Amino acid sequence: MSTIHSVTASFPDRVLPYPEAAQVVFDHVRTLTEKPPVEGIPLLKSLGRILSEPVVADRDQPPFARATRDGFACHAADLDPSRPLQIVGQLRSGQSWTGPDLKAGEAIEIMTGAPVPKGLDCVVMIEHVMIEEVMVEEVMVEEVMVEGQSIRPIDGRKWVSGENIVPRGAEAREGNVLIAPGTRIQPQQIAIAAACGKPSLSVYARPRVAILATGDELVSLAETPLPHQIRNSNSYSLAAQVAKGGGDPVILPPAPDVLSSLEESIRGALTSDLILLSGGVSMGKYDFVEQALANLGAEFFFTGVLMQPGKPVVFGRVPFEAGHRYFFGLPGNPVSTMVTFALFVAPLLARLSGQSANACKPDFREGRLAETVEVKPGLTRFLPARSESGIDGTRVSLRPWQGSGDIAAASEANSFVVLPDGSGTLAAGAQVAVLYL
């Protein structure tokens, strides 16, 4: 059985409204200017990583004037329903035109993506012309047998120079920065890098994040818990969120509710770049996390937030070598742990991963309530919800739950509706903020 140890240091009681607490974290995010170490990795392994060096266009994009439609390349001034244009050749994507320059009254059939021959300034779509047979001798052009045919526009619209053509360099010029450092690599950035001939990218190393669950009631996943015990699920949910957020999770053995043991565990975690503690931050007789941190010289920026779930969340830093290590003390209830991670830990982790400061914000989006909801004063509430997106926006439905220990409800949810501190009623259809983990 655990015993109460005498305290050797004190810590402040600083409980903030959610907007103020979020601003405190972001203020620290902006102070982090030291960049993580850099490493080179293969392009396909860079997904989700943070770019450390810019990706620069190695040539104009596109490198030639490109047809954006299947049709016929010609001079726009020649398109007149009263005068047919003679087809003198065909050009597929991957080919270039080697025939003579086209004269007035001539056109070539062209496929989407093919380079438009020099001097031609318009591609008229197949749907907008009528193909006519003319009695001329067959000729061989670009290894394609072209029978005598002509095209005639079928409407009286005015065709303009540049129609259905992307000019050379319209997307980027050689030497332009296409992906800036600090960008999280997504599939579209993979495409850009590949188009620039980048088989590998320079990215920031993942920060190591120590995960330390606390509590005498915790057992490992391999053990069969006794009636008064629970499995250590928080360490695994946190590890998943750390990995998704760009960090390298390091799960430490759970610490018992003994002050000296907890201090020793935290000391061992200081070699990581960020420390996450789960449990032991409430007001219970055996909640020693804050005292252990204080004994190690911790500086506390807040010791609670007026929110549900997650009110006991703690944020601060501990001296280490020539600097310090940031820590978060997260509540032990699993839904509280996941929500407070998304709100407070994820932005700081993103910055430690090398992401630009302005991008380090929780993932809030807009949605509309599917049902009427009562708003209660005193706390900002984050309630499990199902968000369904459609062409007319996002519809959000609250999920029934039994409080911050209800993992089953959280697993059925894909988001959290944000109900601001206040009183009154939010009617069905009201616009609300929605948090995504």
Quick check: pTM over 0.75? Answer: yes
Query: Using one digit for the tens of pLDDT, what is the confidence trace for 358-394?
Result: 889 999 999 999 999 999 899 999 999 999 999 989 9
Residue carrying structure tokens 């049709």: 71
Token pair for 353:
């991963």
Which CATH code of 2.170.190.11, 3.30.830.10, 3.30.310.50, 3.40.50.10330 fits the domain covering 66-166? 2.170.190.11
Query: Using one digit for the tens of pLDDT, what is the confidence trace for 283-310?
Result: 555 468 899 999 999 999 999 999 999 9
Tell me whether residue 221 is exposed, middle or buried, using C-beta atoms within 10 angstroms of its C-beta: 0 to 12, 13 to 18, 19 or more.
exposed
Question: Beta partners for 274?
Answer: 209, 326
The domain 15-37+205-359 having CATH identifier 3.40.980.10: the answer here is: yes
- Output the pLDDT for position 50: 96
Query: Using one digit for the tens of pLDDT, what is the confidence trace for 33-68?
Result: 999 999 999 999 999 999 999 999 999 999 999 999
The arithmetic mean of pLDDT across residues 350-360, rounded, is 92
Q: Name the pLDDT band for 147 (thresholds 50, 70, 90).
A: low
Asked if pLDDT for residue 329 goes beyond 50, the answer is yes
Token pair for 317:
């830093």
- Residue 221 CA, chain-centre distance (Å), reads 31
Q: Could you give the 3-state DSSP secondary structure of residue 340?
A: helix
* Rounded Cα gap, residues 41 and 118, in angstroms: 40
Q: Name the pLDDT band for 105 (thresholds 50, 70, 90).
A: very high
- Identity of the highest mean pLDDT range in 138-147, 280-289, 411-420: 411-420
CATH 2.170.190.11 in the chain, residue ranges: 66-166
- Residue 125 CA, chain-centre distance (Å), reads 38
Q: Name, in order, each residue with C-beta under 8 angstroms of 61's C-beta and a sequence gap of 6 or more.
A: 169, 170, 171, 172, 173, 178, 195
* Rounded Cα gap, residues 351 and 243, in angstroms: 14
Q: Name the pLDDT band for 138 (thresholds 50, 70, 90).
A: very low
Q: Could you give the 3-state DSSP secondary structure of residue 233?
A: helix
Asked if pLDDT for residue 94 goes beyond 60, the answer is yes
Q: Name the pLDDT band for 222 (thresholds 50, 70, 90).
A: confident
- Output the pLDDT for position 88: 94
Instruction: Find out whether 275 and 316 touch, Cβ atoms under 8 Å.
Output: no
Instruction: Output DSSP code: residue 130.
Output: E
Query: Using one digit for the tens of pLDDT, what is the confidence trace for 158-208?
Result: 899 999 999 999 999 999 999 999 999 999 999 999 999 999 999 999 999
The arithmetic mean of pLDDT across residues 21-31, rounded, is 97
Q: Name the pLDDT band for 422 (thresholds 50, 70, 90).
A: confident
Query: CA quadruple 67, 71, 75, 81: dihedral positive or negative?
Result: negative
Asked if pLDDT for residue 395 goes beyond 70, the answer is yes
Residue carrying structure tokens 């102070």: 31
Query: CA quadruple 275, 279, 283, 289: dihedral positive or negative?
Result: negative
The domain 363-436 having CATH identifier 2.40.340.10: the answer here is: yes
* Rounded Cα gap, residues 75 and 102, in angstroms: 9
Token pair for 333:
């209830």
More confident residue, 137 or 355: 355
Cβ atoms within 10 Å of 386's Cβ, excluding its own = 15
CATH 3.40.980.10 in the chain, residue ranges: 15-37+205-359
Query: Using one digit for the tens of pLDDT, what is the confidence trace for 1-24?
Result: 333 344 445 667 899 999 999 999
Instruction: Find out whether 122 and 160 touch, Cβ atoms under 8 Å.
Output: yes
Cβ atoms within 10 Å of 86's Cβ, excluding its own = 17
